[in-house]
Amino acid sequence: MSVETLHALNLNRPGGPRLRKAFFVVWMLDLVATTQLFLVPYARELNPITVLFYESIGLTGVVLAAVSYAGIIVGLGYVLSKPFDVSFVTAVVSCYAFFASNNFALLLFRKSLVETPVL
């Protein structure tokens, strides 16, 4: 493998360091909240793949599903071209932030953000 080939494999990382850190933080918060959803009797995870992994191998399956999602997202961010990679990662961070907030609201108040009226 030549140096040029190795350099070509080192793709440009999407977004800046703050955006990547934001992705990691909200991903980790979502992972913690999702794991907690399986431990309380009054809440239910809606993602069928995560539920399937949980039913197959327990809480390890929840972590495996979350790591798989993160791997796919990071991989897609590396593959997309420059203006789209930052937009993609920003959209994913926004979605993860909403899902984590929704999961925490469900755990704390037994009501999701979607059920709460917005004034």
Using a cut of 0.85, tell me whether the model's pTM lies above it.
Answer: no
Query: 3-state SS of 25-94?
Result: HHHHHHHHHHHHHCCCCCCCCCCHHHHHHHHHHCHHHHHHHHHHHHHHHHHHHHHCCHHHHHHHHHHHHH
pLDDT in tens, 39-86: 888 888 878 888 899 999 999 999 999 999 888 888 887 787 777 777
